[in-house]
Structure 1
Amino acid sequence: MIGQLSAVVLVATGTAVWSTVDTRPSSTRSPSTDAAHSRLHAETAVAHVAHQELGDELVLRMQSLELTDVVLTAESGTVVRVDSSTFSGTVVLRAKSLSGKLFGQVPITLDGTIPLPPLPAPQLTMTDIVVEDVQLTASTTAVRHFSVEQH
C-alpha cells in the first residue's frame, strides 16, 4: 500500500482504468470520506464522437480520447504524470465536473446536469482541462512517458 489513497493506472482484461481508490480498511473509513477524491489536469483533450448522459455525475462516452500533459492527483498526494495517452474502443469518462476551454477559446464547465452544447464536428477539442473525481475506462490505452510520485 502506498499511503492511504493511491492513484491507480492499470490494465486488466483489456480494460484500462484511470481512477483513484481508497485503500484504507473499511473499518477506518467514515461515510463522508468513502469517495476517493482526485483531480485530473490536462493541457489538451481531443474526443471523437462524444455523447453525454445526464444524471447525478458527468458521464461522457467516446470512441477515443487523446490527452496530453496529464497530471492526475489523488487526495493522499499520489501524483501520476503522463506526457500523452490515447484511449480507444469503448471510452467512458465519469466525473463530478469537467472544465476547460472548448476549441481552445470558449470557457465551459460541465457536470451531470449541464448538457454539452451542440457540436459542429464529430471531434471535440478542449484545452486547460480540469476534471474533478475522475474515473476513465477504455478498451485499450497507450501511454507515453509515465511516472508516479508519492508526496
Structure 2
Amino acid sequence: MAVVKTQGTQLFTVIDGQVVKFICVKKIGYGQDSFGKIDITCLDADSKQYVRGMRDPGEGSVEINYDDENTSHERLLEAAKSGEILDWYVGSGHSKDAPTYEAVAGIDLPETRSWNSFKAYINDTAPNDVEVDSVESYTFAMVRTSEVTRTKRTITP
C-alpha cells in the first residue's frame, strides 16, 4: 500500500514576480471549506429541502520556528503585514523540484511532485507564547479566498 508522507513538503508563493520558497515550515493547515445552503422548501413539503450554496473557503494556518537568519521567514512576516492575497503552492515530498515563474506564462509546477494550490492572505500576528524549553515561533492565520486545487504528480511505470 502506497502512502504519501509529508516529510519533504515545501511551501512556495510568488511575490513581486519571484518564486519564494519558505524554508523550515513546521505546519501548513488548509482549513475546511463550508457551503451555504439555499432553502428551496415548498409550503406543502413534509421536510425542508436545500441545494448547496456558495463555497466559504476555510481558514488554516502556517507555523514556523522563527529564525532571524532565515530570509524566507522575514518574507513571511512581510506578507502577513501586507495582507496581500497571494497564490500559494504546497509541493509534496516526492521531489525537491521548485516551481518556476514567468510574467507572461505564469507559474510552472514540476510534474515530479503533487501540488496543492490556492489563493490566500495571512494575518499579521504576534509571536506565540514564550515558554521554558522552547523557541520563538509564529502561527499565522491563513485565510483562503479560493478552494484548494490538487495537481497529481506524473507517475511513470
* TM-score normalized by the length of structure 1: 0.28
* TM-score normalized by the length of structure 2: 0.27
Structure with greater strand share of residues:
1
Higher Cα radius of gyration: 2
Relative contact order (alpha carbons < 8 A, sep ≥ 6): 1 or 2 greater? 1
